Each structure stands twice: as structure tokens, then as C-alpha cells.
Amino acid sequence: MTPFDLVLTPRGVRFQGQTYPCSIGKGGVSAHKREGDGATPKGIHYIVGMLYRADRLCAPNGWSRPIGPNDLWSDASGQPDYNHPVRAPYDHSHERLRRADPLYDIVWITDWNYPDATAGKGSAIFLHQWRRPHYPTEGCIAFRRDHLLKLSRRIEPGTRLIVR
């Protein structure tokens, strides 16, 4: 491990000597992640992308991409675009990236089951804003808004997320 790794601990995510409180999946941490189980997958995951709501905030860094009104994420396990970004209209199961609430104003994409997705292994493992302190997610890791913004300015593509 290095100071540039994001490390999930019982107190939060440690990064560069600071610990940031976070929420994890309602199913806890799992070494056997499955679609819909609500678990945060155990392992070493890489940050491979960052999305943001350009209508709500400025780009947090030079490599993030804006979320458009038709941007979705496929969670349709049997489809070839499972666990990939897709655009509306999309007839299969998906998650809308441009939400009415602020949870996805900034979204970090991990390489969990991506880009070579295995059906049923889980999709959309993101890092994003929490609903409220320690309110569980569907498997993602979520932070307080100001912490997410601060971290978004400091991480780079390829930053490791270590979940033990």
C-alpha cells in the first residue's frame, strides 16, 4: 500500500494520511459479489473514470467527463452492454446517471467487473456522495459531499481502492 491508495478501514477511507467517513453496501463487504446483493466487493479496484453534473458544479479535475441527460448505466445482466455506460432510450434494466438528487453529482467509476463484465457478478460499483452519514448503499462507497469534492481533485485515473 502507498499513501496514494484509497484504503477502506472500519473508520472510513484512508487517503494520504487522512481518514474520510464513508458508507458501504447494505450487504457489507463480500468476496463473492453478485448482482443485487447490496455488497461492496472485496479486493483491489482501480478508479477508471469520473463523471460529474456540469449543470451543478465545475469539473473537479481535467479528466472527468460531464453526465448528460440521456446517460445511463446498464445493470441488465444478460445483455452485451452489462455494467457499461449506455444512453437512453435503453429498453433493458439500467441506472440513470443524471439523478434528481445529488448522489451522482460526482461519480467515480471502478473497474469492478468492468470492462469485461461477467453476467451476474455485479454492476455499477461507484464512489459517490452519501444520502446521509453512514446510510448504506447498494454496494458503492459513498462520502460526504465536501470530502468527495476534495478527494476528486486529488485522485488520478488508476488510483487504487483497496477493500479488505
Main-chain dihedrals φ then ψ at residue 154, nearest 5 degrees: -110, -20
**pLDDT at 130 (0 to 100):** 98
Helix (H, G, I), strand (E, B) or coil at 145: helix
Cα 117 → chain centroid: 16
Instruction: Give the three-class secondary structure for 154.
Output: helix
Phi, psi of 152 (to 5 degrees): -65, -30
CB-count exposure of residue 164 (10 Å: 0-12, 13-18, 19+): exposed
User: What does each C-alpha distance from 131 to 12, 58, 103, 137 come to in angstroms?
Assistant: 16, 21, 7, 9
Q: What is the pLDDT of residue 1?
A: 84
Please write the tens of the pLDDT for every residue from 100-122: 999 999 999 999 999 999 999 99
User: How confident is the model at residue 68, as a pLDDT?
Assistant: 97
Tell me: domain 6-163, CATH 2.40.440.10, correct? yes
Taking only the tens of pLDDT, the chain with its 164 residues reads 898 999 999 999 999 999 999 999 999 999 999 999 999 999 999 999 999 999 999 999 999 999 999 999 999 999 999 999 999 999 999 999 999 999 999 999 999 999 999 999 999 999 999 999 999 999 999 999 999 999 999 999 999 999 99
**Cβ neighbours for 99, distance < 8 A, ≥ 6 positions apart:** none
Instruction: Look at the block and give the residue holding cell 441488465.
Output: 76
Q: Does the predicted TM-score (pTM) go above 0.85? A: yes
Q: Which residue has the cell 469520473?
A: 50
Q: 3-state class of 149 per DSSP?
A: helix
Separation of alpha carbons 44 and 34, rounded Å: 17
